[in-house]
Amino acid sequence: MPFNKQAEYQATLEHLVSMARDQGWKIYAWGRAKELDADKSGLFRGIAADLQRAMQAQKPGQDSELASGSPSTTRRP
C-alpha cells in the first residue's frame, strides 16, 4: 500500500483533536501540533492552524487558549 500524505495528515489531525478535547492532554496536543508543523519534511505544515480551527469549530468560544496560540500551563479543576 503506497504512502498517502493526505491520509496521514488527516489521521494525525484527528488524533490531536481527540487529545485536545481532554483537558489533561490539551497542552501536550497543542505543543505536539506546533512541533509537527515545524517538521522539516513539511508533511504536517499547517497542522497547528488546522487544530486551532477544529477546536474552535467543536466548542465555539470555549477554546480561547488554542485561539490565542498559547495554552495556559495552569491546571483547572
Question: Would you kindly state where each structural domain of the chain is located, as residue ranges?
Answer: 5-63
Residue 69 has pLDDT above 90, yes or no: no
Instruction: Please state, in angstroms and rounded to a whole number, the distance separating the CA atoms of residues 60 and 8.
Output: 27
- How does residue 75 score in pLDDT terms, banded at 50, 70 and 90? very low
> How far is the C-alpha of 46 from the C-alpha of 42, rounded, in Å?
9
pLDDT score for 65: 52
Q: What is the pLDDT of residue 76?
A: 39
Average pLDDT over residues 58-63: 60
Half-sphere exposure at residue 53, Cβ-oriented, CA atoms within 13 angstroms: 6
The pLDDT value recorded for residue 58 is: 82
What pLDDT score was predicted for residue 77?
41
In terms of Cβ atoms closer than 10 Å to its own Cβ (0-12, 13-18, 19+), residue 27 is middle
